[in-house]
Amino acid sequence: MSIAWKILIAILLYPPMRSSEVAEILEKCESKMVDSLVAMCRIPALDPSSGGDGELEKVEFLEGLLAELGMPFERMDAPDDRVPSGIRPNLLVRLPGKVKKTVWIVSHTDIVPAGDRSGWKHDPFDPVVEGGKVTGRGVEDNGQSVIASLFALWAVKEAATEPELTCGLALVADEETGSDYGISYLIREGAFERDDVIVVPDRFSADGSEIEVAEKNILWIRVGVEGRQAHASTPERGINAHRAGANLITWIDDRLHKVFDKEDPRFKPASSTFEPTKKEANVPNVNTVPGKDVFYVDCRILPPYPTEDVFKEVETLARKAEQQYSVRVSLEKVQEESSPETSEDSEVVLRMRKALRDVLGVEPKIVGVGGGTCAGHFRKAGFPAVVCGTGDETAHNVNEYVIVDNLMKDARIYGALFLG
Ligand SMILES: [Zn+2]
């Protein structure tokens, strides 16, 4: 048989993956994608702890869109009696491939509150399309990824090429306040298989070339200092908890930065961070020596350091403050998260690299971040996962926006990822 015949037979047996066809299909539905993003973000999906009713209305909107596009879906709802519906809905969409193993794109439907309304140029819950940008609460976090991945999956279906792996979307609840009713619930309920390929587009780089494989370990410490209240004109009768607390803050700041000083250039910033943040009110008036002082430290610790080592250093300083100022210091871990990193040789990194190279024509960069996305929950549960996406990182800001070109670019990247 001649070489030409062999090539022809090979093409007939194994038609080339139609990622360019997927890109063409996507290009034609740009305005439908933008309209869907705007309509979806008109429905706020706030967590109950932020005073909202949860995600149900938004998920029902997405179900309507999926039905219109002829895509079957299923729900795995977590019960939550804090919301009127009693459920936090998680939506799963699958397009069967030659094998059951699944490439998942995981994005979240909940949002954070608008914040300072006076800073918004428009109503945050009535997104505006202007100059190639969509502005509104939730458009980037995580609306862009919800819409880009949904249409990418639809385009793969329209291209009528059976993908190698099954392609899936997980549109999850409760990412912004802990994920107990969202991704953690799905992991616990066995929605994912060990060898699935998991991508979480919930952090963005301007050119989309970054693949995030690791998060810093998170430790939030509440520091309570107890002294004795007194009139400010007779401080000798009291023990000023605020003075002790203020000094303790500076010791913690100095000490932690000195001891945990390693750098890892994959992270921005490259070092661990230790920030004194929240400060609880002590006394309401100026002329009282405060008997109590409470502050918090947000620590983002590079993976080689265990969170426990950081906590021990703070404990040592707390004992020193007790001796020096005759106060009592209590420490409480209010948040502690650590997850292993995803290996740069793992299948998900290799597949993501290929999709980015194919669509962007650039060499992807492996990075780490300060934390935390749904990827951390996957990694903790033993699933290698990566985070990527194209955007200006306006999440949680006033005037949060997405650039329409980035929405389209991400959809093409997910299309390429689905086709392998
Ligand atoms: Zn997010």
338 Cβ partners below 8 Å, 6+ apart?
Answer: 217, 218, 303, 306, 307, 380
10 within domain boundaries = no
Q: How many A from CA of 379 to the centre of ligand 1?
A: 17
238 within domain boundaries = yes
Cα(410)–Cα(198) distance, integer angstroms: 16
**292 pLDDT exceeds 90?**
yes
Q: In the beta sheet, which residues pair with residue 293?
A: 225
Q: Among the listed ranges 4-13, 194-203, 267-276, which one has the minimum average pLDDT value?
A: 4-13
**200 pLDDT exceeds 60?**
yes
- DSSP-assigned letter for residue 17: P
Average pLDDT over residues 93-103: 97
370 within domain boundaries = yes
Q: How many A from CA of 176 to the centre of ligand 1?
A: 7
Q: How many A from CA of 361 to the centre of ligand 1?
A: 26
Three state DSSP letters for 197-229: EEEECCCCECCCCEEEEEECEEEEEEEEEECEC
Q: How many A from CA of 329 to the centre of ligand 1?
A: 35
CATH number of the domain bearing residue 332: 3.30.70.360
Same domain, 266 and 350: no
Average pLDDT over residues 294-302: 96
Which pLDDT tens digit goes with each residue over 120-179? 999 999 999 999 999 999 999 999 999 999 999 999 999 987 899 999 999 999 999 889
Cα(51)–Cα(58) distance, integer angstroms: 16
Domain count, the chain: 2
Average pLDDT over residues 349-368: 96
Same domain, 359 and 292: no
Cα(24)–Cα(45) distance, integer angstroms: 32
Same domain, 155 and 264: no
395 within domain boundaries = yes
pLDDT at 13: 47
Query: Alpha-carbon dihedral of residues 109, 37, 62, 167, nearest 10 degrees?
Result: -80
Instruction: Specify burial of residue 263 (Cβ count, 10 A radius: 0-12, 13-18, 19+).
Output: exposed
301 within domain boundaries = yes
3 within domain boundaries = no
For residues 124 and 117, the answer to whether their CB atoms sit within 8 Å is yes
Average pLDDT over residues 96-107: 97
Of 337, 355, 378, which marks where a domain is finished? 337
Of 302, 337, 372, which marks where a domain is finished? 337
Q: How many A from CA of 108 to the centre of ligand 1?
A: 7
For residues 114 and 208, the answer to whether their CB atoms sit within 8 Å is no
Give the residue numbers spanning the domain of 175.
15-208+339-419
Cα(251)–Cα(253) distance, integer angstroms: 5
Same domain, 287 and 224: yes
Of 306, 337, 368, which marks where a domain is finished? 337
Q: In the beta sheet, which residues pair with residue 215?
A: 369
pLDDT at 15: 46
Average pLDDT over residues 11-40: 83
Cα(103)–Cα(234) distance, integer angstroms: 68
pLDDT at 337: 87
Same domain, 59 and 179: yes
Distances, alpha carbon 221 to alpha carbons 303, 309, 335, 355, in Å:
18, 13, 7, 40
Q: How many A from CA of 393 to the centre of ligand 1?
A: 10
**365 pLDDT exceeds 90?**
yes
Q: How confident is the model at residue 14 (pLDDT cuts 50, 70, 90)?
A: very low
Q: How many A from CA of 155 to the centre of ligand 1?
A: 24
More confident residue, 303 or 26: 26
Supply the residues annotated as catalytic: 110, 175
Cα(263)–Cα(272) distance, integer angstroms: 7
8 within domain boundaries = no
Q: How confident is the model at residue 1 (pLDDT cuts 50, 70, 90)?
A: low
Cα(161)–Cα(294) distance, integer angstroms: 60
pLDDT at 5: 62
Average pLDDT over residues 67-96: 97
Query: Which residue in this structure is represented by tokens 């397009």?
Result: 95
Same domain, 163 and 38: yes
Average pLDDT over residues 227-251: 98
pTM to 2 decimals?
A: 0.84
**6 pLDDT exceeds 80?**
no
Give the number of other CB atoms < 10 A from CB of residue 303: 18
Same domain, 225 and 291: yes
CATH number of the domain bearing residue 378: 3.40.630.10
Q: How many A from CA of 141 to the centre of ligand 1?
A: 4
Q: How confident is the model at residue 3 (pLDDT cuts 50, 70, 90)?
A: low
Q: How many A from CA of 45 to the centre of ligand 1?
A: 12
Q: What does pLDDT average to over the chain?
A: 94
- DSSP-assigned letter for residue 54: -
Cα(392)–Cα(372) distance, integer angstroms: 18
Same domain, 192 and 254: no
Same domain, 130 and 170: yes
Distances, alpha carbon 401 to alpha carbons 209, 256, 263, in Å:
19, 36, 32
Q: How many A from CA of 41 to the centre of ligand 1?
A: 14
pLDDT > 90 fraction of the chain, expressed in percent and rounded: 90
Same domain, 141 and 72: yes
Same domain, 34 and 104: yes
For residues 183 and 78, the answer to whether their CB atoms sit within 8 Å is no
Q: How many A from CA of 396 to the centre of ligand 1?
A: 9
Average pLDDT over residues 22-34: 96
Same domain, 313 and 176: no
7 within domain boundaries = no
